[in-house]
Structure 1
Amino acid sequence: MMRSKKRTGRESLWGNRKWNKAVSLILCGSMTASLAACGKEAGKETGASNLQNNAGGGEVLLEQALNEQVKSHSAQTGKEETVYVLADAQGSIRQVIVSNWVKNGEGSDMLTDVSDLSNIENVKGYEDYTPGENGTLTWEAKGSDIYYQGTSDKELPVDVKLSYTLDGQEIAPEELAGKSGRVTIRFDYENREKQIVSINGREEEIYVPFAMISGMVLPSDTFSNVEVTNARLISEGDNLLAVGVAFPGLRDSLNLEELKEGMEDEEKRKELDELNIPEYIEISADAVDFDLNMTMTMAMSDVLSDISLTNSIDLNDINESMDDLESASHELIDGTAKLKDGTGELKDGTVELKDGTGELKNGAAELKDGTGKLLEGALDLKDGTNELQKGSSDLKDGTGRLAVGSEDLKAGADTLKNGTQELREKSGELETGAGKVNEGTAQLTAGSKALAEGTKALAEGSAALDAGALRIQQGLASVDAAIAAMVKACQGSDGSIGLVEGSRSLAEGIAGLDSLLNRYFEMYEADINGKIEALRQMAAEAEARKTEAQAGLAQALEHQQEAEAALNAACVPETKTIEVEVEAVGTMPQTTISGSVTGYSIEPVTATAEVPVQSISADEVQKAALDYRNAGEMVAAYQAEAAAAQAEEEAIQQIIAQYTQELMQSGQFGNDVQTASQAAYIKYMKEVSANLAAGAQTVRAGTDSLYQALLLLNDGQSGVPALAAGAEELKEGTEAAVTGTKQLQEGTEGLNGGIGTLKEGTEALQTGTAKLAEGTGKLDEGAASLKDGAGKLNDGAKELDEGAGKLQDGAAQLDNGALQLQDGAAQLDEGAGELQDGTAELDEGAAKLQDGATELDEGALELKDGMIRFDEEGIRKLTELFGDDVERVIDRIDALKDAGDRYHTFSGVQEGTEGSVKFIYKTDGIKAR
């Protein structure tokens, strides 16, 4: 049977046109069975998780329906990829999001994967990963599977493009929104994924066999008269569902043209041309106010994975296999007849199942009502236990206080017993004291008479006191007025300056005057010191010039001596003398004091020098005489300069001595009358200024002290005003005393009358104390009985408190149990609700199962008829069509299957890991704005 089914698959590809259309419809129909309510609008997606979790009803159901066509991988280890392609209404890609599920079949702590995605994030856990080389990702799996997603900008293996026409004219999707007319929507696919494979011993390039399943929801209030190409229509309520399948590149990969060239039978070649391998999908409909939510396409490459023709067919005996296939088809016909009988019985059974699920549904509804009432009762019980627990707590508090109070009562009864005993003893003493009081009243009578006489004298003295207080009050008023005037004088008023302020200003002014005089004298002394310093500098300069002149004079004298020696030398050879007139120094007395020239005199004279000469010329003698004369002039010049410097220095020293003496005498009397008077005046002025400043400070301190004393005297709390107030109070007190003495005098008269009454009262008191002594005896007996009762009450209160404690604990346990009952009732009610919902779904499912069984029964009948036609038209034609070429066809199909199996990842997979990948293309809806 397995071989027959697989040959039937080949017949569906290469048999007659009607059968191939049937195969396409079967593929579409199997994935549209659950797309009943796909009319809701899908939300906008921002990621694969949103695409899966937040989509609208139509989108989710459409994706589920497409997923039914994808092979389910049940391997415990491996990687599954879902590539979500988000595109606009024409198929232009906006974003590609890849969702990966890495299965951790061995429960490893670390899980290694390979991926070239960007923006990777964990979508179902908190596990982290470490990136490595060549796209390696090492996840800290901790025994769990890893679910993550990322984005990619790689080229997709298949492109999906949509085009639209309105009344035969191509139109942009945004312009189509809201229009009416005949609309055609076409899906075109471009397969870009090729592989090099070996077929019949030669290398060929084939396309990876992607199956493209596209679908859309067409609301019947918008679309009508719908026609499809390479698709199937399902009518469900108010919606139409169009789903189609296409195999882009498959026809080229099968190389049907080469197969057709090898066929000699023209009829077979014609039938091969009519073989329908769809490469596009087209939907046409009359639209009113065009509106389309979205479209969805699923792509997968492993549609041929379950085909294993080489394992099930003996290629060396293909003709025999064809015979077996033909024979098996007959057996299949017989089997479908039996299947028809079974489906009839299934149909009858589903009717009974529907009746049972209806009863179960009714019972679940009754159970839900009961659990609802149970939950209400549990809530009421919980409220009651809450109140009971609160009341028991209050009771425990009360019994606690009762126990404490009984202890206090017991202690009080003891105290009362002791007190009554003492009262009994003291009552006797009271009786004795009453007698003494009676005796004292007689003495009180005599004393009251003396009190009356004293109050009379007191009245006379208080009158005199009142008159003296009045005189004190008047005198203090005068003193207060005088002090106020003095305070006013100290403070100043009406624009005048007060004594205090004036003394302060005087002290400050005198202090300023003293400071001014001191500054003046300091400036005076500073001026003299400055002049002395300038003169000293001038004396130093004169001394320097004198020293320089003395040095020059010494050199001039030396030069003069040299000239004299030269002159004498010029005259040595002859012994005769000549007279030479030389203007020289006639008299030059010199006095050297401390190495300096202090006096000099220059008188030019004409002297006659007699010098012996020897045949010497007059020129030489004249030259020597001229030198000698010049030297004498230089000596005279330096002597004059030295004398002038000496005189200047002496004059400066005299002035310095004068200023120094004047400065020294500024603080004391000197010998010179004028200078002494000036110094004495300066000293006197300084003393006077200092005395004035000290006196002003003394005056200021005295006025401040006087002012403070006056303020104290004028203070209303402690000064004269306070004394005046006290005098006022004294006056009022004396007046009150006068009045009081009168009242006292009157009271003493009343006291005499009251004493008689007191005497009568003391007699009654003496009688009452006797009765009190008798009553205290009875009270003592009652206190003893109270003491015994308080003890018993205390014992009972303790027992009551212990019982209240146990009641409180029990109430708490009861409240806890009621809470558990409430939770359980709530869970039971919730479960009953779920059971009710489940039974409703079961009842609905049973109805659907009944409908499905009916359809299955009808389909089995159609299958039976179809198998007869399959045997007559399919198997026989398959055998007749290919004959000996079947082996080549099988080799090509196996190569295509292998190419599809090898394409098992888009973003990468770890070597040695089994992978699978599917693509989901979602295009935007077309909405009128």
Structure 2
Amino acid sequence: MNRNKKILNATMAAGMAAALGTTPILAATQDTENAVSKEETVYVNATAEGEVKDITVSDWLKNSGSADGDVSDVSDLEGIKNVKGDETFTQDGENVTWNTDSSDIYYQGTSNKELPVDMKIKYYLDDQEITPDELAGKSGHLRMEVSYTNKSKKTVKVDNKNVEVYSPFVMVTGMILSSDNFSNVTIDNGKVISDGDKEMVVGVAVPGLKDSLDLNDDLSDKIDIPEGFTMEADVTDCTMGNTFTMAVTDLLSSLDLENSEDLDDLQDSLDELDDAAVKLVDGSKDLFDGTKDLYDGTKDLYDGTKTLYDGTKDLYDGTKDLKDGTKELYDGSKELDDGARDLANGTKTLYDGSKDLDDGAAELADGAKTLNTGAGQLYSGTNSLYSGTKNLYDGTRTLYGGTSTLASSYNEFDAGVASAKSGASQLNSGAKSLQSGVQQYTSGVASLADGVQSYTAGVDTVNSNLTEYNKGMQQLTDGVNQYVAGGNQLADGVTSYVNGATQLTDGVSTYVTGASTLAEGTKAYVEGTTALVEGVGQLAPGIDEAAAGISKAATQLAEVAVNVEKAQPDQMVASLNTYVDGADKLADGATQYVAKVGEAADGAQSVADGAKSLADGTAAVATGAAQVRDGLGSLKTGTSDAIKQISSTASEAMNSYADQISAAAANIQTSVEAQSAGVSTSTASGEISAVSSSVGSAIASLESIDTSALDENTAALINSALGQLYSSADNASAAQGELSNIEAQSQVSVTAETNGDDIKATLNALASGLYDTAGKVTSAGEYSVSTLEGETDKLISGASSVADGASSAASGASTLSTGVSNLNSGLAQLKEAGNSQLVTGAAQLKKGGTQVRESLTAVSSLVAGLGDISTMTDDVNKLVEGSKQISAGNEQLQAGYKQLTETGAAEQLTAGADELLKNKDTITNGITALQGKDNANANALLDGATTLKSAKSSLDSGLSSISQATGQLVTGVGTIAANSVALRSGANQLTSNSASLNSGAAQLTAGTSDLVSGAGTLVAASGQVKAGIAQLKSGAADLRDGASQLRSGANSVNNGMRDLKNGTSDLASGANTLKDGTSSLKSGAKELNDGAKTLKSGTSSLKSGAKTLDSGASDLKSGAKDLKDGAKDLKDGAKELNDGAKDLKDGAEELKDGEKEFYDEGIKKLKDTMEDDFQSVLDRLEALQSDDAAYTSFTGLDDSMSGNVKFIIETEGFDDGSED
């Protein structure tokens, strides 16, 4: 069941209960004020068609609590129970006795008796009878017929005759219908009340009364006493809740028919009453017609004054907003003027900075050009170095050929060994010669000791210089780090500069667009101002004429009652038309002006964004340029020191190695000579092996460095040092081999001397090459330092100029940003505040004008309907005074506009706008030159910045490798230094053993037989000699391969220098492009400054004109207020007059309707009834009021009680089973 229906049912039930509660109770014929009476309510539950299902009766024995003793009652109810107390009862059939216990009795029971009135409900859908179940959920036109049948007949006396009548019942049925399902609800006997959501239907019937009164045919036709009712409606998805029907029995109890006068007197009175009623009806109609005409006239009067007041109110609101807008306009024009001044100052600073930037770019281009030249010279030097390494490689190939010759001479050596063995017997005779040779050997040992001292001294020198070398490497590392940091800063600065330049380009482009918009808006503003002044000029005379017309009308108000036409309303109408036309022009001009100011404000915002980006970009360029300048200084110091240290260390090391090789050559010659005399050189061979091992460690360290990740100069120095170490290692290896040869050929003096001369020549050639390379390294280092310092100084100078120029440009850009911001603020204030008020004021002004125009017809009616309106004189005077103030304000406005035109401010604004448009192309061209074609300049700078940043990882890797190699080099030199002590010790031992050797020589002479035996051993060892020669040949091959690698490294250095030269050439080209761009920037900045000056001149004139406009708007606002106040007083008076007329009309209408109804329904029907069969009706009514006809109880009533009964019948609802 629909939940909403339950709520509606409860509401209906409550209404029924309230109605029943107010129903009067039929009094008993005897005095029963304190007697026990029976109040009975019968509750009936029925089907939707009215068929009774069950009956429950509630009885109240009223006043039973005050009765003495028990109370007797009669009831045919079943299942009687006390529902309110604990009182008990006894029952004998229908007789019930209650023990009241001083309380009224309330009891309840059920019944199956027939009701005194039957209720039947029939349903018809589209004129076809249908059951409720079938109707549920259907749609169509519903007709619901409710009929009542009175079955309670009584016999009464009427005119001394027994007559059957029906007990009087009034049946009231109520139902609540949802508007979702029911529409167009009607009822023939009842009432339909709708609240939008639901339809409340009440049907009324008095079944049996018409038969009881026995009305004749004529009276029966005139008096409709319903026996039921019919409700009709259009239904959709029909559903219906419960209906409630109340039946009451005391319909006629309130009629008092016993005090009627004589029938003849009553008839005469009715005739007089009828005549008077007719006259009263006619008079009330005439009264209503007159008051209606009066109300219509006052309504027209009020409508006209209301329209007039609304127009003047809108006029005042418009002028108020106009005043606010002109004040905002003046304030904004001041802000605009200040912003233009700041803009001019900022563009001047920008221009100064762009000149400095252009000068710095020129110096940078010159420095890059010189750097390119130096790189070319450095490349020439590395090319010569590469040629030297080729010669070195050729020398090693010759050395390798010598070892091959030595190997081929081995057979001769072997034959010599055989000869030595066969000639051992001859050694004895040469013992004295051997002794002499020993003496020479000891002398050679002394020379070898001196050579060892020189060698170890050279090692000490290298060791002592390692500290300085380490310092140089540290400076190199610091310089590279600073160079990387500076390069990164330069790259960031260049990126920021390019971004700033791009933003500048975008900002200036937007500025150009905004400037064009501003120029067009300025022109429109001038035109709008002209239209505004002209509109106000047309408005003011119209107001004056209107005021004159109103004043003239006021003087004639006293004569209006005699001759309304003398008021001459046409003059006021014409004046108001003039006012409306002027207001329209004023509103249109203000709207056009506001639109142009909005466009200018949008353009200025873009300029502000571009100026800020320019300021940020130039500031970043200034910071980056300063950092590059500082980084170049550090790089200059660190790189110069590093190059000096590296070239010095490498040169010293090469010279030292050359000295050692020269000494070794001499020593080897001596050793060969000594060896030919049979002296052992094993100690010298061990020391040279230790030196060779240390040099090999140093070579391994430097070879681990990835020179491709370093800059060309650093890589060239490392490769040069590595080449010298290769030579040192090869020389040591060669010396070791020669010593082995000397030892192996100790018995073949002729061959040894020959090979020793070849080795000496080779070593001397290597020493000479090292001396030459050392000189070149020194010269290249000095030239590199000189060139680097000179070119770095130029770069520093150029970077300083760029930093200074960028700083000036940043300052100018900042000032420009401030100026543009002020300009934007002023325009925004105009747009957001003043413009908004101007638009609102213009709209209200136009609306007011429209209302005034629409009210002209009403004003004519107003004049026609004028009564005694002498009180309007004061208001008219106020209007006249207001019009005078408006006229004075217009004069000031016109004077201000005249001053604006005479000073040429409008022309200046227009000229400034034209100048802005003229400079647009110049600024655009300057930006194009700055960025280059298709942003070529910006892209080149960004590519260079990216390359600078990408070099950081390579430099870091190179520094790490250098650091690692340096550590290994230090370790190797330390080992060499440690071995120098042993080497010197060995030399000392050789020297100290010379005496013993001389002594041994004497003993050798005596032991020649042992020597013969040793010669045999020598033959056996010839295989070892052969192996040594093979090792010598292998070492020579390694030396040749090392020279080849040196040549390859020199070639890489040469190629790197070539790339460096190409890079400096690109740098010079980029610097020239930058120079061209800064020149264009300077030109564009100058044109921007010139345009800003012109804009400043125009904004000054704009401010002056805005001030004059604000003053005129103030006067206009004051006059409009006075006009509005006067119109309001007039409207208030007309409203009071109209209200009074309306009350009078309403009262007259109610009187007319009431008199007509009183006559038709009362007097006329009463007279007709009296004339026909009124006495018979009265008799029957008296009979129906009697106790004999009354229905007082449904269940039974004791003779000692009076009673009253009412019925409530609830029928079931029905629906389609769905829930809401």
Q: TM-score range by the shorter chain?
A: 0.3 to 0.5
Q: Quick check: which one's helix share is greater?
A: 2
Q: Which has the larger radius of gyration?
A: 1
TM-score by length of 2: 0.27
More strand by share: 1
Q: Which has the higher contact order (CA 8 A, sep 6+)?
A: 2
